[in-house]
Amino acid sequence: MDKATDNSSIDPTRESFKQLFERVPEEGPVVMLNLLAFRTMATDGKRTGRQAYSDYSKAVAPLLAAAGGRVQWFADAHHALVAPPGEDWDEVLLVEYPSRDAFVGMIQSAAYSAIVHHRTAALRDSRLIATTARND
């Protein structure tokens, strides 16, 4: 059985967007670290969480390419060695975008709005962390 989720760990909030613009540089590549935990059954009740996320992945691929983004790395997560009790992830993804604004443009597009329901239906928990390379 899936534990209940607060949607703020699935979808960005107005405040998290504000902080993205305040804390992430405008110029240069941004790599989004995705930690994903799937629902046993998607919220639509017709497919598993993994199947719903697979549908999202297929639908987002052309939008990601159009934004100049690419998946850098994708893996199954097996065990959180250092984490709060009960925090488990199923998959980890690193997705690179040419800039913060390329990422924002993609997720604010009408095309993305038409498909994001697959992602929301799939996930019981997630983290999406904006990162930039260090130059030291």
The 10s digit of each residue's pLDDT in 80-123 is 999 899 899 999 999 999 999 999 999 999 999 999 999 999 99
| Phi, psi dihedral angles at 83 (to 5 degrees) | -170, 160
Identify the CATH number of the domain in which residue 99 sits. 3.30.70.100
DSSP notation for 73-117? EEEE----SSSSTT---SEEEEEEESSHHHHHHHHTSHHHHTTHH
pLDDT of 14: 87
How far apart are the C-alpha atoms of 101 and 96, rounded to whole Å?
Answer: 12
Domain tally for the chain?
Answer: 1
* Residue 20: inside a domain: no
How far apart are the C-alpha atoms of 70 and 66, rounded to whole Å?
Answer: 10
Residue 3 has pLDDT above 90, yes or no: no
Instruction: State mean pLDDT over 47-64.
Output: 98
* Residue 1: inside a domain: no
* Residue 42: inside a domain: yes
* Residue 13: inside a domain: no
* Residue 77: inside a domain: yes
Interaxial angle between packed helices 14-23 and 100-107, expressed in degrees from 0 to 180 and rounded to the nearest 10: 160
pLDDT of 60: 98
Range of the domain at 113: 28-131
Q: What is the pLDDT of residues 5-51, one digit of tens each?
A: 457 678 888 888 899 999 999 999 999 999 999 999 999 999 999 99
* Residue 89: inside a domain: yes
